[in-house]
Each structure stands twice: as structure tokens, then as C-alpha cells.
Amino acid sequence: SGQKVCYGDLKRSCYKLAYFQDLSRRVGFQEARQACEIDGGALLSLESEAEQQLIENMLQNLTKSGSGISDGDFWIGLWRSGDGLATSSACPDLYQWADGSMSPFRNWYTDEPSCGSEACVVMYHQPTANPGLGGPYLYQWNDDRCNMKH
């Protein structure tokens, strides 16, 4: 389940936000990717600062709606292949969009991606966390282990 938000004037006419307060309903990257595909879509590819801002606004509206939303990061469609090069300086260039988009836009949190065993990407949504070196953990991107539940 999720909240579907549609716009008529964008390249992607609809976005669907799925947020589960019940931790047992959260899923790993591949499960999220498959759920999107079954629903006729794809995990989100962000192609510009304007689209990033649109998604941030949608998440803020979801928070204001009284749904009781709390900490919980959101999977986006960015992931890394080529684990053999994960510790090299080339690592950030190995990330690709699951839907085949060629967008070079990135919104990494400070010191991310950390690479190593973290190959799938979330958009931070930790409104109750104390800010770190890069500011609050809101809307910037972090690489995470693909089996983590978000």
C-alpha cells in the first residue's frame, strides 16, 4: 500500500510513496524494486534538483498529514554493481539507476557513498535523529546494505 500523488505536467505523471510504521512490513531493496515493477512502476530515479525538491515536499506533506510518520529511510532506485571495485576511488561512479535512467544527478550525504558492502541507496528520513556532520538526516542519500528493511 502507499500514497499515490499524481501531477499532469511532469515527465513522470505519478509518484507513489509507501511508508510502513510497522517494521515487519518494511522490505529490502530487491523486494521494493519488485513491488514497484508489479505495480507498473519503478523505484524512483531522481534526475534533477527540482525533482529532488518535489520529492522532499511530498515527504514533508506526508509528515504533516497526521499519519504519524516517524524515522524511516526510503529506498530509491540507485544501486551499485561491480563489487570487486567497491573499495576503489571509482566506487561512486559504479552507481546506476534501476530503471536505466542515465541521470548524473546525485544528492549524497557528507562522506557518502561509503561503498564496501553497501550497494543500494536510501533517501534519509530521520527527523528525530541528532544532526551529524552533514546536517540533519533528511532527504540526502546514503548507501546501505541491500538486505536492510526500509
For 87-128, how does the pLDDT look when each residue is reduced to its tens digit (9 = 90+)? 567 888 899 999 998 999 999 999 999 888 999 999 999 888
- Higher pLDDT residue, 134 or 141? 141
Q: Which pLDDT does position 61 carry in this prediction?
A: 77
Q: What does CATH list as the number for 2-144?
A: 3.10.100.10
Asked whether residue 150 carries a pLDDT value surpassing 80, the answer given is yes
CA distances from 43 to 81, 86, 134 (A): 16, 23, 25
16 pLDDT tier (thresholds 50, 70, 90): confident
- Every domain of the chain and the residues it spans: 2-144
Q: Which residue has the higher pLDDT, 56 or 21?
A: 56
Determine contact, residues 129/98, Cβ cutoff 8 Å.
Answer: no
> Residues in the chain, how many?
150
pLDDT, tens digit (0-9, with 9 covering 90-100), for 75-86: 999 999 765 555
